[in-house]
Amino acid sequence: MAWVILGIAVFSEICWALSLKWAATVATWQASAVPITLSFVNMGLLALAMRGLPAGTAYAIWTGLGAVGVVIGGAVIFGDQLNGVQVAFMALTVIGVMGTKFFASA
């Protein structure tokens, strides 16, 4: 169950980071409330996942997949540019996360 919660935490982390850019473009107090709310949600989910997973494993997966997801989301939603070298390093990040998951004790 901790892995499922961590997956949801990763998704909320991606939404949080992308909402920061969105809130900056909209520039209303309501838009600013979205990333603030999401920050509490994703931190709470990460903390909940860490009850059943080692902290280092959970945090490495959360940050690694969150970073890759934000780069992809930024390209899809905001038209951020990607090049082949960036994609290659994102693949390395995903490989590292997979290794972290497969060799985790929980």
Domain edges within the chain: 2-102
Q: Indicate whether 17 pLDDT > 80.
A: yes
Q: pLDDT averaged over the chain?
A: 92
Residue 83, sorted as left (phi over 0), alpha (psi -120 to 50) or beta, turns out to be beta
Per DSSP, 103 falls in state: T
pLDDT tens for each residue of 22-71: 998 888 989 999 999 999 999 999 999 999 999 989 999 999 999 999 99
Q: How far apart are CA 21 and CA 31, in angstroms?
A: 10
User: Could you tell me if 9 and 46 are in contact, meaning their C-beta atoms sit under 8 angstroms apart?
Assistant: yes
**pTM: predicted TM-score of the whole model, two decimal places:** 0.88
Q: Supply the pLDDT for residue 97.
A: 87
